[in-house]
Amino acid sequence: MRFRNESSGGARPSGEDAVVSRFFSATLPTMLFVSLRRRLSTPAILALSLFPLGIACEDEEADNSIPVEKFIAELRAATCERLVRCTYVPDNAACEATIPTDRGVVQAVASVMAGELTYDAAAGRTCVDAVRQYKCEGDYFLPRSLRETCDPVFGNRKAEGEACFSGAECKGVDADCEKDEACFDACCQGVCKLAGGTAGLGIPCDADTPCSPDLVCLAGEGGGDQGGGNQGGRTCQPRVGPGESCNDPFECVEGYGCDVEGTGQCFKQADSGAQCNPALRAPGCAAQADYCDEAQSKCVPLPGEGQPCVKNGFLTDACSLFTQCVDGTCVRLPGPDQPCLNGECLGLLQCSSGEGGGQTDATCQALQPAPVCVL
């Protein structure tokens, strides 16, 4: 599953890496770990976070709304259901084991428990249902429209310049908690920047500082890729509309690709199962887990474990997002504590460096609880 921005092992070209790097603009919630100002020990964290999840009464079960103590678990279940449906992970167990905690959501829940934020149980249900049912097509797992749907879940959020631990505590879908770059502690306080977290027109961009939704991160003038890092002098540039001139595969507005070597214009990408043009030197399908099959000229899922790798005018040796092409066959990426496969791991697991910084004995690191703080 190519959720990171660098290419490795020859499994995919830079073009496909760029597609997948755009899918996750945020990590996903899987576990609830809460620390009260100072970090608690693991047993204390588990006792604090998991105990309320078992509490339920008849009124709650009859009500379709989601109580705050169940929101993390409900959102996590909906997220994994959608990831499996959209073939980003092979199954629910893999999702649970390889997709880390969304610290922002957990921080918000912790702040509700501490009495700093409010929680709307009905809005919680609306958000969870929207995440579960949202389409597979699109550039981002949490596009702006979906984030706006979920925005009312937490209330009494902080204004510009107020102290924060996470952007989830600040008002608005574009808010960020700006912290001192020299501080690496989870409990460092920052200040709310309501338009922060994204880069504006002409501002340098990379994996850590993505562009605002109406802009795209390009290297140089007209041409570049969406990979991480700012080695290519990437800056945020306006997205190009349908039928307009373009010269980068990812320069167009969402739902459109750039026919770089053909018309040089933005064309509408095909939905899953629809007809497409496999000769295009651009992603012809709107769903990132699909590709345009050369034999059928149709958008179909990328091949899974044990199936032959595929190619078309844009992709070479392509496989599903949870596998890697090895000697012409799609091989499932390794899970926690397994040896890395050409530097890659399943989901969002990180590949450790082997002894002496080498990759020969590198392993996929299991998810670790991320402490979350409240005042």
What is residue 54's three-state secondary structure? helix
* Type of residue numbered 247: N
Contact status, residue 373 vs residue 116, Cβ threshold 8 Å: no
Residue partners of 64: CB distance under 8 A and separation at least 6: 122, 125
Domain boundaries, the chain: 1-25+213-305, 42-139+144-193
- From first to last of its 375 residues, the chain has per-residue pLDDT tens of 333 222 233 333 333 333 333 333 333 333 333 333 223 223 322 323 333 333 344 454 557 999 999 999 999 999 999 999 988 899 999 999 999 868 889 999 999 999 999 999 999 999 999 999 998 887 667 788 898 999 999 999 999 999 999 889 999 888 888 888 888 777 889 999 887 656 778 888 887 777 876 788 888 644 344 434 444 688 988 989 999 999 888 888 888 989 888 889 999 999 999 999 999 988 899 998 999 999 999 999 999 999 999 999 999 999 999 999 999 999 999 999 999 999 999 999 999 975 544 556 799 999 987 677 866
Angle at 139 between CA 286 and CA 234, to 5 degrees: 125
Tokens of 331: 């091989």
Measured in degrees and rounded to the nearest 5, phi and psi for residue 176 equal -145, 155
Measured in degrees and rounded to the nearest 5, phi and psi for residue 114 equal -85, -5
Angle at 257 between CA 211 and CA 238, to 5 degrees: 35
